């Protein structure tokens, strides 16, 4: 198969982790006989520096004409004082909108080898396997009007949380469909005791659930969900929630399973899927070569699964990540005292070695190879 991708390394640790993810993808493509066409483009701070636009036209064009996009991270302290539309984050938000990527899937899985990396007791975190389904194009992130206005000293800031029924229904369908491939449970998270948006959310999600009698729906307020996530993470299967709540709860889920550095994401629903690790640009460790590339590598697995239906290839990467963790390989975010921390490229190489060891290349039957 021809995999035509746009690669957006971005800022901070983005380029470091993306390099490793691309090396893993190249190794995998070699094993399974796929052909890669990669176009590297700027986004975020890197694009602001090069061309004064966090999402330059040629970057957007490349993304729209490829089959999927792999992104590292955007943002950094150098751009904190920039006006809103010229911040690195604005480039990412515009890209999500232009791609129509309304469904953000963020799995948080506790790898057995990492149970002792969690700040929670191993018996609490053991078996955690959550899929956060975050609405990505609505709510406070995109609601109009938005502004900061008024004379210095007495300015007012305004953001708008807005959701329409079709927007809620389409993300609910995604969550219910995904729950059918998992443990058949959806927990919808809102703040319906306070917010109109959440009351509508709850109503539409409940109505949508009638099409899925085999999926058990429950509702929870976001404050209570935050607590339950640390008390009983294993109770959660699919978490369905709006944009801002999903942003917050997904970082929390990363902390629970041992490191945000492990979390991958897929943003789908539009014409072209966007795949990115959840961790962000991590300016404090950027350029040191110590970032964890596993979130980016696992994002490649999601890319293969959701944009190309290459389930076997996706599972192969996920198994290789499990293998390197079982072998005791750790980046700095995962290493406990006394353990050697691998550098970013070393972790990438371990995953590639595990891919090769898995013998999948030989496992592809000859007749399938030539088909």
Residues known to be catalytic: 141, 191, 223, 247, 251
The rounded Cα 211 to chain-centroid distance in angstroms is: 27
| Three-state secondary-structure class, residue 220 | strand
186 binds, among ligand IPM, Mg ion, none (CB under 5 to 8 A by kind): none
- Is 89 one of the binding residues for ligand IPM (CB under 6 A)? yes
75 binds, among ligand IPM, Mg ion, none (CB under 5 to 8 A by kind): ligand IPM
Smallest distance, Mg ion to C-beta of residue 200, A: 24
The rounded Cα 21 to chain-centroid distance in angstroms is: 14
Of 21 and 278, the one with the shorter C-beta distance to ligand IPM is 278
What is d(CA 285, CA 294) in angstroms, rounded to the nearest whole number? 16
Smallest distance, ligand IPM to C-beta of residue 113, A: 26
The bridge status of strand 2-10 relative to strand 35-40 is parallel
What is d(CA 22, CA 5) in angstroms, rounded to the nearest whole number? 10
Residue 341 tokens read as 């921390």
Answer for which of 280, 293, 295, 348 binds ligand IPM (CB under 6 A) is 280
Among positions 232-271, residues that touch ligand IPM (CB under 6 A) are 247
Residue at shortest CB range from Mg ion: 247
For residues 261, 264, 265, 266, the Cα torsion angle rounded to the nearest 10 degrees is 150
Residue at shortest CB range from ligand IPM: 89
Of 208 and 250, the one with the shorter C-beta distance to ligand IPM is 250
What is d(CA 62, CA 66) in angstroms, rounded to the nearest whole number? 6
Smallest distance, Mg ion to C-beta of residue 243, A: 10
Smallest distance, ligand IPM to C-beta of residue 247, A: 4
- Is 247 one of the binding residues for Mg ion (CB under 5 A)? yes
Of 268 and 278, the one with the shorter C-beta distance to ligand IPM is 278
Q: Which residues touch 178 (CB under 8 Å, ≥6 apart)?
A: 105, 131, 133, 238
String marking each residue 17-56 x if it binds ligand IPM according to CB under 6 A: ----------------------------------------
295 binds, among ligand IPM, Mg ion, none (CB under 5 to 8 A by kind): none
Neighbours of 270 (CB within 10 A): 18
Answer for which of 25, 69, 92, 172 binds ligand IPM (CB under 6 A) is 92
Smallest distance, ligand IPM to C-beta of residue 88, A: 8
Burial of 68 (0-12, 13-18, 19+ CB in 10 A): buried
Triad 223, 228, 229: Cα angle to 5°: 100
Among positions 55-74, residues that touch ligand IPM (CB under 6 A) are 74
Smallest distance, ligand IPM to C-beta of residue 136, A: 7
How far lies 194's CA from each of 199, 200, 245, 366, in Å? 8, 12, 14, 60
Of 71 and 117, the one with the shorter C-beta distance to ligand IPM is 71
What is the phi-psi region of residue 282: left when phi exceeds 0, alpha when psi lies from -120 to 50, beta otherwise? left
Of 279 and 349, the one with the shorter C-beta distance to ligand IPM is 279
Positions touching Mg ion (CB under 5 A) are: 247
Residues that bind ligand IPM (CB under 6 A): 74-75, 89, 92, 247, 278, 280
């Amino acid at each position: 198969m021809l995999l035509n991708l746009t690669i957006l390394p971005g800022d901070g640790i983005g380029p470091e982790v993306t390099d490793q993810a691309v090396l893993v993808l190249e190794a995998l493509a070699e094993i399974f006989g796929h052909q890669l066409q990669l176009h590297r483009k700027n986004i975020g701070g890197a694009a602001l520096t090069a061309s004064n636009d966090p999402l330059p036209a040629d970057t957007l064009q490349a993304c729209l004409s490829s089959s999927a996009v792999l992104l590292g991270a955007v943002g950094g302290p150098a751009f904190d004082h920039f006006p809103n539309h010229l911040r690195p984050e604005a480039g990412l938000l515009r890209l999500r909108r232009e791609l129509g990527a309304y469904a953000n899937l963020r799995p948080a899985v506790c790898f057995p080898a990492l149970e002792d990396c969690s700040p929670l007791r191993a018996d609490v975190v053991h078996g955690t396997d959550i899929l956060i389904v975050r609405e990505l194009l609505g709510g406070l992130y995109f609601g109009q009007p938005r502004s900061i206005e008024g004379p210095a000293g007495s300015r007012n800031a305004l953001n708008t949380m807005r959701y329409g029924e079709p927007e809620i229904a389409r993300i609910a369908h995604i969550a219910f469909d995904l729950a059918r491939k998992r443990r058949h449970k959806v927990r919808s998270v809102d703040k319906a005791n306070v917010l109109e948006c959440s009351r509508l959310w709850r109503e539409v999600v409940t109505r949508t659930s009638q099409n899925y009698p085999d999926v058990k729906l429950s509702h929870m307020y976001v404050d209570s969900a935050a607590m339950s996530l640390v008390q009983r993470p294993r109770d959660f299967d699919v978490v369905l929630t709006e944009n801002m709540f999903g942003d917050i709860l997904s970082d929390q889920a990363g902390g629970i399973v041992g490191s945000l550095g492990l979390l991958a994401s897929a943003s789908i629903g539009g014409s072209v899927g966007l795949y990115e690790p959840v961790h962000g640009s991590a300016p404090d460790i950027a350029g040191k070569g110590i970032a964890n590339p596993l979130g980016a590598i696992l994002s490649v697995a999601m890319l293969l699964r959701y944009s190309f239906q290459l389930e076997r290839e996706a599972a192969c990467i996920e198994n290789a990540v499990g293998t390197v963790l079982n072998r005791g390989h750790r980046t700095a975010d995962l290493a406990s005292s006394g353990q050697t921390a691998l550098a970013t490229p070393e972790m990438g190489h371990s995953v590639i070695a595990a891919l090769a060891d898995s013998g999948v290349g030989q496992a592809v039957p000859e007749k399938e190879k030539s088909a």
